[in-house]
Amino acid sequence: MQIKLASVTVENQEDALRFYTGKLGFTKKADISMGTYRWLTVSSPDGLEGVELLLEAAAFPPSGVYQKARYDAGIPSTAFFTTDIASEFKRLKDVGVAFRSEPQKMGPVIAAVFGDTCGNLINLVQPSA
């Protein structure tokens, strides 16, 4: 068994696509009309081949409530891993990504949380050596 698809709920799919491709450097993989919404996926150029992130519209009202509750509580929706958090942190800050803190050692990882401008917090993580 393999994980090939994960999702984050987003308030606006077009805004999410701009953020994930323009700021994070992901590439659009699928963009299929589903009526009012889209099956919209992106992937990381540094990630495993075939793994995609679904930018899922917050069309189901309880999903928006859950997303906001997580955000308000400071709980990240997902984590993206890097092998060099210092350079990734700087690169993302330089393109305008808003972090909640500098990278900090947290047990077996170094992590920093940023907002994706679409209603989610994302944990940027580097495993400690």
Domain count, the chain: 1
Domain of 34: which CATH number?
A: 3.10.180.10
- What percent of the residues of the chain are helix, what percent strand, and what percent coil, each to the nearest 5? 25, 40, 35
What tens-digit pLDDT sequence spans the chain (129 residues)?
999 999 999 999 999 999 999 999 999 999 999 998 999 999 999 888 899 999 999 988 899 999 999 999 999 999 999 999 999 999 999 999 999 999 999 999 999 999 999 999 999 999 986
CA end-to-end span of the chain: 28
Q: What is the 3-state secondary structure (H, E, C) of 17-39?
A: HHHHHHHCCCEEEEEEEECCEEE
**Containing domain of residue 44, as a range?**
5-127
